[in-house]
Structure 1
């Protein structure tokens, strides 16, 4: 049924004549169904709840489609209201509660975040943070320790690391000369990382065993990863500030509310007992 009503929103339907444009307000009546008035305000509120892609439709399409939907809904609701079941009544209470809460929370979240707040949050997260050290390494992966040691001996004799990686490595980086690119602590398996951390740029490791096999590692270079600029993390900071603001407001409201939770011995499975709403 909801799909049927939603589909009516895109039907072009002639709108009722309105008063002069400069006289139109939220209380301007655009239709009356069984004595119930539908106003411009109802249309505005309905449009605000539409998904963004529907809000982009031409105003004349939205106006006619939404008005027709509201007319249909009112005609149906008038009949349904004559015999409301307990399930429907409770559902309406839940919907009203959820709608009011969501509207309030949206308003709280979208309050303006000042430049001062944003800068303070950036400083708290990044200003005093130490630069993170990044490592750029290459490796040659083989099956045995003896193979790894033989490769180290060849490298000591002047062999090219990238050529040996392409020829001998059984790892996926072999065709690329064994290059692993840039990484930070925590991105590689512990044994491999420990070996890398002990190397100086240009130095080659002893054979290193991991669950993948035996590695010969070349540390190419290191660098300090500086904190991002404020503009790079602006969107994330704003999102975090909004989320924190909402959480704080919810905690505040719940803490100040008079809440009574009676101690009852209730089987949680009761929520699946639909028959209780028909008794």
Structure 2
């Protein structure tokens, strides 16, 4: 703690000394310098305001419990160990899937290991953690089974083989309570920011001018940015 206090004091002292140096050198006369100072002031104010939004929001345990239950429901009851071959093109994926129908998947995996976009084994993965199409395909497989046709997602074409399926034991509510609270507080802060955006009317003098925004519940006020 004393070391942290000393570092904080040194940092604050540096801020003051550098600010005094900027004043004595009249750096603020430089438009680029003044703009950078103003941007950093706005950034600091914005970050502090978002932090205030979070700290002032109220989330009771009933809301946390509801979110916990929803997360557990989405997680599913099983987790999977599986191997995956991911391809950039469908033709190679179809060839690998076809080979897997007549050969052990380990042999197919080794054969395509260097040619696939990705060849990787995963452990204790739940379908809800994957892209929807891939998660659905995984949940439909039993241990020892391989997808008969490649699964297409935004990442490419997947050929997956399930090695093992085990029951998923979710963390308790108390274990996740704090992280859920932080997530919800962040969402509430984002919602307040989104409301500010929707209520604001932005007017600019030119494409290179600064942007000024003000909000009003009835009629947003216009303010030109200089």
TM-score by length of 1: 0.42
TM-score by length of 2: 0.49
More relative contact order, 1 or 2 (CA 8 Å, 6+ apart): 2
